[in-house]
Chains A and B, each alone.
Chain A
């Protein structure tokens, strides 16, 4: 092996890394670019999701004229991928990775008398907006346990109402309901540190995880939680796949 060849390779690699770091540096925070990804699947056939009788409110019936509303307890995609599973790091985080609050402000919309998304993952103190796309009055009524530091509130949103901006003070799984449309049931899953939620194929990626050893928790609204130990090395993403059984 010729020496000049080697050093050229090293040099170009260093230059590439530097350029990459410069470009990525804009987006990546101090926590680094480590990540944990994987797939969450449902074991066995997708359970039947019961239809919802919306006859209380003709507006809701009309909104679902072409696609009848049904429960969203298990949303199963192709190949058994399970959507709406929240993944977060329950052990091993420290410092900035734990306390940094994302600036993104997710939206929890009331659309066609359902919550979109059905499950909203949030960081502690992360701001979110509650909006209504419906031409009917909703009341948005999250029900945290006041002992945690999260305080329940209950606000109306008639048609055309302005968005409500809120945040939660403590990590907790909070059920959200509308008393006017009792089938409307959603979740705010408030966690400390980076999180992800599975897409329709059950895939997820938790970003901004510094290298280290962690416990990853997967939360499903009906099946409960599962944990796995995951190690994230510098430059190598951690991986954790989960399989839930329907309850």
Chain B
């Protein structure tokens, strides 16, 4: 009788385990899901990328970090920091599109060529444009978001105005008003009061950008890139979008002021020196910098 019971229970438990095992807590995609999207395309300029053509390149160059299923869980995952992107989530730092929207094909195309500074993602400038476009389509085929949604509309960036002392000073006011210093510090040294506790969307510690150590911002180091970074935010990280709170003209002022914090030589840096510009005072009352 007892043995009978035991057998019944072990059978039941076994059945439960079989039912429970293939159900991961975080909705994981399978190879089958991915196969169904192998027809994914990308369009960059007049080039059309095809996911299926990127498979050999992905398996040779990308899979070791980004993984067979594109979930960022490749062989190198444990030793890489920042962690490889999980393409299944469809959440990307470097976008020309508003926060919470998909990037454009061009955005991904540029990221592959640019690489991500201070990470294990190198510049893949050795690829032909066709190879890169194919890889963009391949990256897209990992996430159901590209089947269900359209990319966001890229933000409009007005032409860059002439740098003036007034603009740099106005940029300093924006830096104080929207409180960039809370994370980036008053001197841009990534030592603001909130810098130490920053985490990414998956709860992993992440550092604010340090302007003073000669590093290039991850999403590009042209003036337009910097404009785009704070106006779209870096999704998946603590860096929010300031699009609702900084007007386009002010945004250029802020770009110029950020240049004065960077260690690289620039016209803005020389002008700030001439002006004797002081760092913002976090304790000054609003509007009295």
Interface residues, chain A, with chain B CB atoms under 8 Å away:
56-58, 135-137, 139-141, 143, 145-149, 151-159, 161-162, 164, 179-182
Contacts and interface: CB of A to CB of B under 8 A. Distances in A.
A63 to B, nearest CB: 15
A161 B91 CA distance: 26
B76 interface: no
Contacts, number: 97
Interface residues of B, number: 39
Interface of B: 26-27, 88-91, 99-101, 143-145, 148-149, 177-179, 182-183, 193-194, 197-199, 201, 233, 235-245, 283, 286
B183 A156 contact: no
Nearest to A183: B197
Contacts of B183: 179-180
A146 B90 contact: yes
Nearest to B102: A151
B194 A149 contact: no
Nearest to A163: B244
B238 A154 contact: yes
A146 B89 contact: yes
A246 to B, nearest CB: 24
A164 B243 CA distance: 11
A137 B246 CA distance: 13
Given A145-B26, A146-B91, A158-B179, A152 B245 contact: no
Given A146-B90, A147-B27, A154 B194 contact: no
A153 B194 contact: no
B236 to A, nearest CB: 7
Nearest to A159: B286
Main SS class of interface, B: loop
A181 B194 CA distance: 7
Contacts of B145: 146, 151
Contact of A57 (B99, B143, B193, B242): B193
Contacts of A152: 91, 100, 201, 235-236
Nearest to A142: B100
Contacts of B245: 156-158, 161
A135, A159, A179 interface centre (most CB from chain B within 10 Å) = A179
Contact of A182 (B179, B197, B243): B197
B241 A156 contact: yes
A186 to B, nearest CB: 16
Q: Report, nearest first, the 9 A-B pairs whose CB atoms are least far apart.
A: A153-B100, A179-B238, A139-B240, A137-B179, A147-B27, A156-B240, A182-B197, A154-B240, A56-B193
B238 A56 contact: no
A78 B244 CA distance: 43
B179 A136 contact: yes
Contact of B240 (A143, A151, A155): A155
21 contacts: A57-B194, A136-B179, A140-B240, A141-B238, A147-B88, A148-B27, A151-B145, A151-B149, A152-B91, A152-B100, A152-B236, A153-B235, A154-B241, A155-B99, A155-B241, A156-B242, A156-B245, A159-B286, A179-B240, A180-B182, A182-B199
A149 B178 contact: no
Given A147-B88, A152-B91, 7 more contacts: A147-B27, A153-B100, A154-B238, A154-B240, A154-B241, A155-B240, A159-B177
Given A56-B193, A155-B240, A182-B194, A149 B148 contact: yes
A149 B241 CA distance: 21
Contacts of B201: 143, 152
B99 A153 contact: yes
Contacts of B198: 179, 182
A180 B238 CA distance: 8
Contacts of B26: 145, 147
A57 B282 CA distance: 10
Nearest to B230: A156
Nearest to A150: B100
A167 to B, nearest CB: 12
Given A147-B26, A154-B233, A137 B178 contact: yes
A158 B100 contact: no
Contacts of B101: 151
Nearest to A135: B286
Contacts of A148: 27
Given A147-B89, A156-B178, A58 B283 contact: yes
Nearest to B27: A147
A152 B149 CA distance: 14
Contacts of B238: 139, 141, 154, 179-180
A135 to B, nearest CB: 7
B212 to A, nearest CB: 21
Nearest to A154: B240
Contacts of A158: 177-179, 245
B244 A155 contact: yes
A71 B235 CA distance: 27
